[in-house]
Amino acid sequence: MIDALLAPFTYDFMLRAIFVTLVAAVACALLSTWLVQMGWSLMGDAVSHAVLPGVALAYILGLPFALGAAVFGIGAVALIGGVRAASRIKADAAIGVVFTTLFALGLVIVSVTPAETDLQHILFGNVLGVSDADIAQVLIVGAIVCVALLVLRRDLTLVAFDPGHAHAIGLRPRLLHAVLLGALALTVVTALQAVGIILVVAMLVIPGATASLIAVRWDALLAWSVGITVVASMVGLLGAFWLDISPGGAVVLSQGLAFGLALLFGSRRGIVIRWARARRHAVDSG
Amino acid sequence: MSGTAARDAIVVEGLGVRYGDVRALVDVTARIRSGEITGLVGVNGSGKSSMLAAILERVPHEGTVRILGRKPAEARREGLVASVPQAESVDWDFPVTVRDVVTTGRFGRMGLLRIPRAADRAAVAEALELLDIAHLADRQIGELSGGQRKRAFVARAIAQDAELLLLDEPFAGVDRSSEARIVAVLRGLRERGRTVVIVHHDLSGVAELVDDVLLLRGRLLHQGPPDEVLSPERIAEAFGAGAAEER
């Protein structure tokens, strides 16, 4: 029994997969807290899709994926702002137009690129086949994102909660928003190795949304978000090994299951907890 | 710096704010004196909050603003300005406690990581006591009543210990005991030589609290002491006929 449980850890490809997934998951989980609280989940979806042409071009030109992703991620955000200003259409429509167009451009580039198989991995992830170079890139980019977010976490939280006060005390909300968007573009690079571009948005939204059902303080929110995503990622990867299913899909499914459990039993806003509180209140007042 | 400038907390010249094609504020030139409580008074949509936002440079504007003789960005960087937002602009579901909120008033005095030192913790504790919300310090901000929430934001401004405090509708949706506590704190600030600017949309209690009134209706109608500016004719001009009788 013990041997069976430990079996995944005896394979080099599984150890690599676990390492890459956990680094990506932690970076996504940290970023997720701000995206969810600021109502930027759709922006996360947009940037994660919009980086596809950048990553594909970087692959073709032999450049780091992170470079292509950062250029197209930040470019997409600028383009969304430009489209809104020029057309006065609403934000969600501008986001929808820009990210789907860029994603389509990425698909076209992938379809005419000779080494199509490798680029298909960008769409769906290939965590069981990561190379040493992939691991190095995920580690460096993930570390940069995590350190930046943790160092700036109190300023980022203040800007998310009360940008007026942040501005009044001399912080620069626009710069901090740019930091978040830059971190978003880079985080997508780490996560696309694990689950692929199509499912990256799940890793960028579910941990923060799950933790918000539990935590009432920001530091606790960060801790819950990271803790939940680490456990869910391990469950997903090991489940994928034992059941021979898609690792990216299994990781995201595990995160979705964690959200479902928090929705029922979360100590802040879980349905069961709220029901029990309402019942206790009715008994006390009756 | 001239003697006049030293007494002026805020000087605006030709201040205008425009949202698209709508002009919210037109050509306001005014001086707000240091060490006083000044009220920006007018009906909803008269440009009061826009004027506050323009002073803070939160919205694009025409004209010039000086805060304590400095450009607004310099004054903000030096921690001279504290602001209390309208209740409607805050996400009350946000996962922060009352103590967290008040502690952000000290951010300008902390290092990059914003880790509070003993002096910061003491200032926060003192501000919480002053506003009588120390017992609520570890509650999530949204669990408080409207008045308690407003007291938390005033406590943040007290902890910041800024020279200039700008409050946007501090008494809207606030119970009487919270209003009394906030008024007492604002008067205490005035006694310590601090400048307070309040945006206020109705006339109840204004005359008793403020030293100077700016009566607005898209532009500056009148400025002066409340007993002079809040005359029935001028109130009717700013608020429409009937408002003076209700007062």
Domains of chain B in start order, with CATH, are: 1-80+207-240 (3.40.50.300)
Residues B34-48, mean pLDDT to the nearest whole number: 93
Number of Cβ within a 10 Å radius of residue A73: 29
Range of the domain at A79: 2-285
Q: Compute the distance between CA of residue A57 and CA of residue A17 in angstroms, rounded to an integer.
A: 25
Q: Write the ipTM.
A: 0.89
| Least confident range of A37-51, A93-107, A225-239, B231-245 | B231-245
Q: Report which secondary-structure segment, H or E, holds B214.
A: strand B212-216
Task: Check pLDDT > 90 for residue B28.
Answer: yes
Please name the amino acid found at residue A53: P
A164 and B83 in contact by Cβ < 8 A?
Answer: yes
Share of chain A above pLDDT 70, in %: 98
The mean pLDDT value of chain A amounts to 91
- Among B94, B113, B140, beta carbon nearest to A37: B94
Instruction: Give the count of Cβ contacts less than 8 A between chain A and B.
Output: 75
Q: Which chain B residues are Cβ-neighbours of A208 within 8 angstroms?
A: none
In angstroms, the separation between the Cα of residue A12 and the nearest Cα of chain B is 38
In angstroms, the separation between the Cα of residue B108 and the nearest Cα of chain A is 6
CATH of the domain at A89: 1.10.3470.10
pLDDT level of residue B244 (50, 70, 90 thresholds): low
Residues A259-270, mean pLDDT to the nearest whole number: 94
DSSP string, A28-95: HHHHHHHHHHTT-HHHHHHHHHHTHHHHHHHHHHT--HHHHHHHHHHHHHHHHHHHHHHH---HHHHH
What pLDDT is attached to residue B1? Answer: 41
B82 and A37 in contact by Cβ < 8 A?
Answer: no
Q: Helices then strands (H, E): number in chain A?
A: 15, 0
